[in-house]
Structure 1
Amino acid sequence: MSTTQVLAPVGGRAVALADVPDPVFSAGMVGFGAAVDPPREVVQAVAPVSGKLLKLMPHAYVVLTADGVGVLVHLGLDTVALNGEGFTTHVAQGDDVTHGQLIITYDVPAIEAKGLNPIVPVVVMDEREAANVAPSAAVLTGNQIASGAGLFTANK
């Protein structure tokens, strides 16, 4: 079994995935993990793990670790409809990235101005067992978490 430490891609208030106001994420349909409610400012979204940038869209990205763990970072809810507005990418799909490396600049105020929720779900893709994801203390208590701090541990 592999253990993957998944880091917060942005700072803010740590949130249990079940509390994300979108059933696709809160019910674990995409996978299990946690979320971060970012500060209302322009933030730098970083890689939560080291690996290959498997998928890169302006509003979301997936990093695949050497152990085959795919971690999705989704910047805001329903932000795909913005067609990249409010996001600036700094890497290319297929790049090798290291945890903490800048991936996307995320304009949180611009997202809120469009009436969208800026929360950032972070999930292990296709993880069907919630018990395989151990949230950090910050997630359990809803406390502030720094970008790059441990968000949860994934066991596969």
Structure 2
Amino acid sequence: MTTVTSPVAGRSIGLAAVPDPVFSGAMVGPGTAVDPVREPSVAVAPVDGIIVSLHPHAFVVVDDEGHGVLTHLGIDTVQFNGEGFELLVSKGDTVRRGDPVVRWDPAQVEAAGKSPVCPVVALEATAESLSDISESGDVAAGALLFSWT
């Protein structure tokens, strides 16, 4: 079983509340989302594994069971072309849960007219393979978001 933890501090809101139909419809995969605190912060690895995809606004970590977890920092933030995001790791790096991955400022994202909500998605998973899904309440970075079997 893979335990997936929050990459950011904030409020868990569930995927259905994400203001983007691709995420809210779970087209990328099942999971949940976090509405982050509005202060400069560091998004951390949600699982132990290898960074297999890395962009300023999003990253994927694959654990030793082959589970890929996508963290997306804000909605439509690809349009910033990396501005306001600082990569703290490289593609191919091995990370431990809680290791810093990207420095960013959710308040800056919101001020630019985009949602800072962060979907955390189990790639190539079924909804039935997830349990203990957090969809409400405050979460700290590193708090349980869901379990994946």
Say whether the fold is shared (TM-score over 0.5). Answer: yes
Displacement, 1:106?
Answer: 1.4
CA RMSD of aligned residues (A): 0.9
**Equivalent residue runs for 1:59-78 within 5 Å:** 59-78=57-76
Q: 1:131 aligns with which of 107, 128, 132?
A: 128
4+ runs of 1 displaced by more than 4 Å? none
With the length of structure 2 as denominator, give the TM-score of the two structures. Answer: 0.96
Q: Is the 8 A contact 1:34 1:135 kept in 2?
A: no
Q: Secondary structure at the match of 1:80?
A: helix
Q: Is the 8 A contact 1:86 1:108 kept in 2?
A: no
Displacement, 1:120?
Answer: 0.4
Name the one with the larger strand percent: 1
What's 1:80 paired with? Answer: 78
Q: Secondary structure at the match of 1:31?
A: coil
What's 1:101 paired with? Answer: 99
CA distance in 2, matches of 1:46, 1:40: 16
What's 2:20 paired with? Answer: 22
Corresponding letter in the other structure for 1:134:
S
CA distance in 1, matches of 2:26, 2:142: 23
CA distance in 2, matches of 1:78, 1:21: 10
What's 1:150 paired with? Answer: 144
Q: Is the 8 A contact 1:100 1:148 kept in 2?
A: yes
Calculate percent identity across the aligned residue pairs.
Answer: 48
**How many residue pairs get matched?**
149
With the length of structure 1 as denominator, give the TM-score of the two structures. Answer: 0.92
Q: Is the 8 A contact 1:33 1:135 kept in 2?
A: no
Q: Unmatched 5+ residue regions in structure 1?
A: none
What's 2:49 paired with? Answer: 51
Q: Secondary structure at the match of 2:13?
A: strand
CA distance in 2, matches of 1:7, 1:117: 21
CA distance in 2, matches of 1:50, 1:148: 12
